Amino acid sequence: MNAPENIEEAIEVLQQLGLKEYEARCFVGLSRVETGTAKKLSELTEVPRTRVYDAIRVLQAQGLVEIHHSSPQRFRAVSLEEATETLRDQYEARVERLQDALDTVEIVDEDDEEPVQQVWSMSGNDGIENRAEELIETADDEIVLVIGDESLLTESLVTTLNEVESGAELLIGALTEPLQEQIQAAIPDATTFISGLEWLHGVDATEDETAIGRLLLIDRSTILVSSIMPVTKEEQAIFGEGFGNGLIVIARRLMSQGLLTERDPAS
């Protein structure tokens, strides 16, 4: 990205963290200069001069900007390290408040019926990764995971997989040898293999086609299957639990294609 794009992205992220547009623009503007007056900041950010003062007061209250009471007043942003730490603390505090509030919300419609096998859809890389890691942490006997794209082998996933209890078998497949080697190096206690699922792409697959994301099977009863959309690179998934039928048997056999029989603990 070029400089204007980086500036707009920074403004957008600050808004997502809770700042209003003028506040975000003023902070980014001040981060580009050593100090600035309201006039200079208005010219740099295209924020109306009268609104600059309002934005600066909010930023100062949040610990992101300092004011020198000269004539005219001069402003400066705190250091990048201090600003990011302050914003992180504020964000985490909001998340904790949200969790505390939701924990006390009364359930008004409790279903007393017997649970049925259901499949749900999900979207978004972060949400799907969080769900996958939560499922891995609940495993008692077996985890079968096939990773179709190197980008999904994140530091967080590696940490979760390395913390799997020794009582659970950990089988991880990859679609390519380089990815298998990367997985084996990152997760040495796992049994790794080249999965036979590359046929899902087809012989003439191109980069414009939907790619395999991750396939996860926990204790032969819970399954998560995802794909990566070709243009947006967004991950989409389906998730289901409570299965104990032929579907799971077939899914496991497909997922473990390429795993030598003598190394398969389920054989």
Domains in the chain: ranges and CATH: 3-103 (1.10.10.10), 118-263 (3.30.870.10)
CA angle 228, 118, 217 (to 5 degrees): 55
195-237 pLDDT per residue, tens = 876 655 544 545 556 678 899 999 888 889 898 887 888 889 9
Among all chains, which residue has been given the structure tokens 């293999």? 193
CA angle 221, 140, 190 (to 5 degrees): 100
> Which pLDDT value is given to residue 202?
45
Do the Cβ atoms of 170 and 164 come closer than 8 Å? yes
- Most confident stretch, 122-126, 132-136, 162-166: 132-136
Q: State mean pLDDT over 114-133.
A: 82
Strands (E), the chain: 65-68, 74-77, 118-123, 142-147, 169-174, 191-194, 211-218, 222-228, 235-241
Q: Which pLDDT band holds residue 262 (cuts at 50, 70, 90)?
A: very low
Whole-model pTM above 0.75?
no
Do the Cβ atoms of 235 and 226 come closer than 8 Å? yes
Do the Cβ atoms of 234 and 125 come closer than 8 Å? yes
- Using CA atoms, how far apart are residues 122 and 261, in angstroms rounded to an integer? 33
How many other C-beta atoms can be found within 10 angstroms of the C-beta atom of residue 92?
10
Residues 6 or more apart whose Cβ sits within 8 Å of residue 146: 172, 173, 174, 175, 195, 197, 212, 214, 215, 216, 255
Q: What percent of the chain has pLDDT over 90?
A: 50
> Which pLDDT value is given to residue 58?
94
Alpha-carbon dihedral of residues 133, 171, 258, 186, nearest 10 degrees? 80
> Is 240 strand, coil or helix?
strand
- Using CA atoms, how far apart are residues 56 and 66, in angstroms rounded to an integer? 9
Distances (CA, A) of 121 to 127, 165, 234, 236: 11, 28, 14, 8
37-91 pLDDT per residue, tens = 999 999 999 999 999 999 999 999 999 999 999 889 999 999 999 999 999 999 8
